[in-house]
Amino acid sequence: DVVVTQSPLSLSVTLGQPASISCRSSQSLVFTDGDTYLNWFHQRPGQSPRRLIYKVSNRDSGVPDRFSGSGSGTDFTLKISRVEAEDIGVYYCMHSIQWPWTFGQGTKVEIK
Amino acid sequence: EVQLLESGGGLVQPGGSLRLSCVASGFTFSSSGMSWVRQAPGKGLEWVSLFHNEHGNTDTYYADSVKGRFAISRDNSRNTLYLQMNSLRADDTAFYYCAKGRGDYWGQGTLVTVSS
């Protein structure tokens, strides 16, 4: 199975400051079609998860442009350029290159 | 607007069964891959089962933790996804979410509690 590992597992950020979360996979997430199947999700307390980024760097509809994804192969990063209060919660990376699709452990983001 | 509405959760005794349903609207259900994802209280996310529909693949998949006990199915005429859960155990207690495709849309979840 492909394992995805996030770091850090918790992050305390000042409003307006940047934040960055790393995700590393145990093998390449490049599929035979040439796409890289690494997604990022955000889950606020008491809510369902919401996908923010798909295929490494594509923002889903309605996602603010302060969120960006980057990386390739086995190393990926989610960046928030300026953290806002609504960004609190848990962020998960997730691969879907082969079954089982798996999530990282989650990174809890809080405001200082 | 895409909507996914789960139902069927509740309290069940160990060894019991439940069937979850997810009614979809706002997209072409019959051509979409669909999944069930669960989250135990206070824990992370686990992709439980997938009804794939991509790259010519229309197979079904299960996490090892539920293989042989859970069955995913769909009724395209009713735009509904199902998860039949048998031989339930305490560690199956979780919120169960229905998700479209590779997680682009999620339902609000339904809570399954397995306890005597």
pLDDT at A76: 98
Please, which residues 23-42 of chain B have a Cβ atom closer than 8 Å to chain A?
A: 37
pLDDT at B85: 98
pLDDT at A74: 97
Token reading at A77: 């990063």
Q: Does A93 touch chain B (CB under 8 A)?
A: no
The DSSP symbol for B76 reads T
- Measure the CA–CA gap between B63 and B47, rounded to whole angstroms: 7
Tens digit of each residue's pLDDT (9 = 90 or more) over A23-80: 999 999 999 999 999 999 999 999 999 999 999 999 999 999 999 999 999 999 999 9
Contacts of A92 in chain B (CB under 8 A): 44-45
Q: Does B97 touch chain A (CB under 8 A)?
A: yes
The DSSP symbol for B57 reads B
pLDDT at B110: 98
Q: How many CB atoms lie within 10 A of CB A27?
A: 13
* CA-based nearest distance B93→chain A, Å: 16
Nearest C-alpha in A relative to B101: A96
Query: Do the Cβ atoms of A92 and B47 come within 8 Å?
Result: no
pLDDT at B58: 78
* CA-based nearest distance B115→chain A, Å: 22
The residue type found at A83 is V
Query: Do the Cβ atoms of B61 and A48 come within 8 Å?
Result: no
Give the best residue of A23, A47, A99 to mutate against chain B (max B CB count within 10 A). A99
Question: What band does B57 get if pLDDT is binned at 50, 70 and 90?
Answer: confident
Q: Does A103 touch chain B (CB under 8 A)?
A: yes
pLDDT at B52: 87
What distance separates the 2 farthest-apart alpha carbons in chain B?
Answer: 44
- Measure the CA–CA gap between A91 and A105, rounded to whole angstroms: 9
A/B interface, count of CB pairs below 8 Å: 50
Give the best residue of B102, B105, B108, B110 to mutate against chain A (max A CB count within 10 A). B102
Q: Does A24 touch chain B (CB under 8 A)?
A: no
Is B79's pLDDT higher than 90? Answer: yes
- Measure the CA–CA gap between B32 and B41, rounded to whole angstroms: 29
Point out the residue among A54, A94, A99 whose CB comes nearest to the CB of B50.
Answer: A99
